[in-house]
Amino acid sequence: MTKDYGGVLNDLVAGRWHHPVTGDIATVPFQSIVIQDALDGREAELLESLGFQDKTLAVVSDRYTYDALAGRIVRQLKAAGFRIDDIVWRSPVCSDQGVMELRGLTSSAEALVAVGSGTINDSVKYASFLDKKPFATFPTSPMTAHFAGSASVSFDGMKQSIPAAHAEGVFVDLEVLRRCPQRLIWSAYADVVCRTTAQVDWLLSHRLLGKPYWDTVYHLLAADEPRLMANPEDVVAGEIEAIARVTRMNGLMGLGTAFAGTTHHGSMAEHMLSHYIDMFAGDQHPGTTHGEQVGVATLAMNRLHHHILDQDAPPVLKATAVDRDAIEARFGKAIAEACLQSFMTKDFDQKATDRLNQTLAAIWPDLTRELRPLMLRSDDIESALRRVGAPVSAADLGLSADFWRDAIRYSRFTRDRYTMLDLADDAGLLDDFAASCS
């Protein structure tokens, strides 16, 4: 007997999940999400539920995910009479060139089936989107990408998050996931720990600057986060329920864009820090995963949140200072130009700063009272990351202390999202904080 682990995702897809405060029904653009302990033998039935049985299907995998899952899926579908192009993509790259190659490989298919991790999934997602073909995905690791409507694609070496379509169906065989490399498991774990810092940053920007904010995804994540944080050993041990928890939380982080049309709920300063590493480490990039970097960055941001929000009086802001030369020295001229263009929305002159100081003075006690319960203890985050096997410091990532301090100082200039990095820097507190980080 198979067991279902979809939890709140089942309720969402069925249209029976209500926001606990507003009572509104939250909807998601998936026909089907199935998360079970085993799906062996059900592949044809799952794709039939999407109406894929009448289409020529390209089943896309790489040589690792073919052995892990795709070979089985192809055998099952052929036995059930499906028309299949079995495509084992030898050197998958999710870039403009790579996606072009994949579109050629899948040109005779009417629908695509991705079997793999982030690269296969996002390549299939973007190729399907461009060719206006439906697709389904069978993940081989628990990542947000499988549930997200956007694809992470490199254009001329620059990674960009491109709007694309959601999968028609996401079919998760937890028995396959628990056998994926441990590094992918702890990376997925570390990537969702960012809930705490993303929510604090986003709500801060809402209260201080009036930015739009939606809490739907946080109510959904709350069903799993406490046990995820308390029992990291279960994840390492490959317990099905723990792997399911990591999968559901990654799923919610991915599909959370459907509620608000933005990734703010799971991508604030901690993700800027991770992107900073990917953008500027160059030859020194230690080869760490997105999730590993986000875990370390989440811990750093959580410490900064405590550092600022534990103060009784609000910090006093000064007009934003932009050291263009220092930014160009780190970003290069062209990237600095583009970044500073988007930074303008939070480049506050004296008049705007006076207003922000008035707002801060008026809301500070309420703001800290509201934000503190959303934060986790730094020791608890560090302990959970350690116990799951993930890095906890820049040194663990293989980054120099100088590079990491620069990341903390200059990440705020890479995006227009307002976070605690902005508030701390305008308050003259960020340099000392960065100097204390390693």
Binding site for Zn ion (CB under 5 A): 191
Is residue 85 within 8 Å of residue 106, measured between CB atoms?
Answer: yes
Q: Helix, strand, coil proportions of the chain in percent (round to 5)? A: 60, 10, 30
Q: Which is nearer to Zn ion, 272 or 399 (CB)?
A: 272
Q: Which helix (H) or strand (E) holds 269?
A: helix 269-280
Task: Give the pair of three-digit tokens for residue 99.
Answer: 């996606």
Rounded to a whole number of angstroms, the minimum distance from the CB of residue 170 to Zn ion is 17
Rounded to a whole number of angstroms, the minimum distance from the CB of residue 267 to Zn ion is 6
> Strand pairing of 169-173 and 135-139?
parallel
Rounded to a whole number of angstroms, the minimum distance from the CB of residue 133 to Zn ion is 27
Instruction: Classify each residue of 42-69 as buried b or exposed e, where b means 16 or more C-beta atoms within 10 Å of its C-beta.
Output: bbbebbebbebbebebbbbbbebbbebb
Q: Which is nearer to Zn ion, 140 or 197 (CB)?
A: 197
Q: Which is nearer to Zn ion, 268 or 434 (CB)?
A: 268
Give the C-alpha separation, 365 to 144, whole Å: 35
Sort 26 into a burial class: Cβ within 10 Å, 0-12 / 13-18 / 19+.
Answer: buried
| Alpha-carbon dihedral angle through residues 224, 142, 374, 408, given to the nearest 10 degrees | 160
Residue with tokens 């937890």: 174
Rounded to a whole number of angstroms, the minimum distance from the CB of residue 391 to Zn ion is 15
Rounded to a whole number of angstroms, the minimum distance from the CB of residue 290 to Zn ion is 6
Q: Which is nearer to Zn ion, 161 or 359 (CB)?
A: 161
Q: Which is nearer to Zn ion, 77 or 252 (CB)?
A: 252
Q: Which is nearer to Zn ion, 87 or 390 (CB)?
A: 390
Rounded to a whole number of angstroms, the minimum distance from the CB of residue 191 to Zn ion is 4
Q: Which is nearer to Zn ion, 122 or 191 (CB)?
A: 191
**What's the gap between Cα 61 and its chain centre?**
22
- DSSP class of residue 227 equals H
| Angle at which helices 290-309 and 378-388 cross, to 10° | 160
The answer for residues whose C-beta is within 8 angstroms of residue 404's C-beta and 6 or more apart is: 394, 437, 438
Q: Which is nearer to Zn ion, 191 or 426 (CB)?
A: 191
Is residue 197 within 8 Å of residue 265, measured between CB atoms?
Answer: no
Q: Which is nearer to Zn ion, 168 or 191 (CB)?
A: 191
Rg (CA), the chain: 22
The residue of the chain with the least Cβ separation from Zn ion equals 191
Rounded to a whole number of angstroms, the minimum distance from the CB of residue 144 to Zn ion is 6
**What's the gap between Cα 211 and its chain centre?**
21
Rounded to a whole number of angstroms, the minimum distance from the CB of residue 400 to Zn ion is 23
Rounded to a whole number of angstroms, the minimum distance from the CB of residue 94 to Zn ion is 15
